[in-house]
């Protein structure tokens, strides 16, 4: 049996069928020959994305049909995942060679449960945040990567924002977080000037950011006051 942990990449695609083949090829080209799988979570009425995944005809690429909020879709995909590590991704990421080996290096410390990857954005420059963190499956199961949520990656009380922020903030409070500065998964997003804004982005601009922020601020009081089990 390989000593390299196995990996599940869970990607809710958000109405961008043209990204599916390109992203899969990019992942294949830049991830070592290890035990990994990709699970695409697609809206039940997004037939173009369903077709795009079906046309890949590759072992290791699965599909789960699910509508709803981003955290719900991600939790549904994680429930289907079978590997040791979970990478909650997005259809706007781009992998650079060596990203996975550098994540694995940080997981050699058994205390580390969540490893952040570098998106080359202003938000991740400090090493305190990552939109694409890698999480141990066993940690999701117990004690839970979100507060009081054993078995779920993300808290579904959020609409879209702050889900990764909670996972990372809680892991830091537990001493279970590490940022891998040289593990690069670029975030191609209009906020960083790396791609044009599209219809999916315009819809996302109305996704109740400030409501999610209030939820996070209230929940974070649970672990901000001291040690967390």
End-to-end CA distance of the chain: 32
Nearest-CA neighbor of 126 among 174, 168, 170?
A: 168
Q: What is the pTM of this model?
A: 0.89
Q: What backbone phi and psi angles, to 5 degrees, belong to 6?
A: -80, 160
Note the pLDDT tens digit of each residue in 176-226: 999 999 999 998 654 555 555 556 655 555 568 899 999 999 999 999 876
pLDDT value at 78 more than 90: yes
Residue 35's pLDDT band, with cuts at 50, 70 and 90, is confident
Could you tell me which CATH class the domain 7-190+205-223 is placed in?
alpha beta
Each domain of the chain, given as residue ranges in start order, spans 7-190+205-223
pLDDT of residue 122: 81
């Amino acid at each position: 049996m390989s000593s390299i942990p196995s990996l599940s990449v869970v990607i809710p695609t958000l109405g961008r069928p043209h990204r599916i083949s390109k992203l899969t090829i990019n992942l294949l080209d830049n991830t070592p020959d290890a035990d990994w799988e990709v699970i695409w979570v697609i809206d039940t009425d997004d037939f173009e994305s369903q077709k795009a995944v079906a046309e890949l005809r590759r072992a290791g690429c699965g599909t789960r049909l699910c509508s709803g909020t981003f955290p719900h879709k991600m939790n549904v995909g994680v429930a289907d995942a079978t590997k040791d590590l979970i990478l909650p991704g997005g259809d706007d990421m781009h992998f650079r060679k060596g990203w996975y080996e550098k994540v694995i290096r940080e997981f050699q410390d058994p205390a580390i449960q969540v490893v952040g990857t570098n998106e080359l954005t202003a938000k991740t420059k400090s090493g305190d945040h990552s939109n694409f963190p890698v999480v141990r499956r066993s940690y999701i199961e117990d004690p839970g990567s979100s507060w009081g949520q054993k078995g779920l990656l993300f808290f579904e009380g959020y609409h879209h924002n702050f889900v990764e922020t909670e996972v990372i903030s809680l892991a830091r409070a537990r001493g279970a977080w590490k940022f891998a500065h040289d593990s690069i998964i670029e975030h191609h997003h209009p906020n960083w000037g790396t791609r044009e804004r599209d219809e999916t982005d315009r819809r996302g601009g109305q996704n109740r950011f400030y409501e999610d922020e209030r939820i996070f601020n209230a929940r974070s009081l649970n672990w901000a006051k001291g040690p967390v089990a």
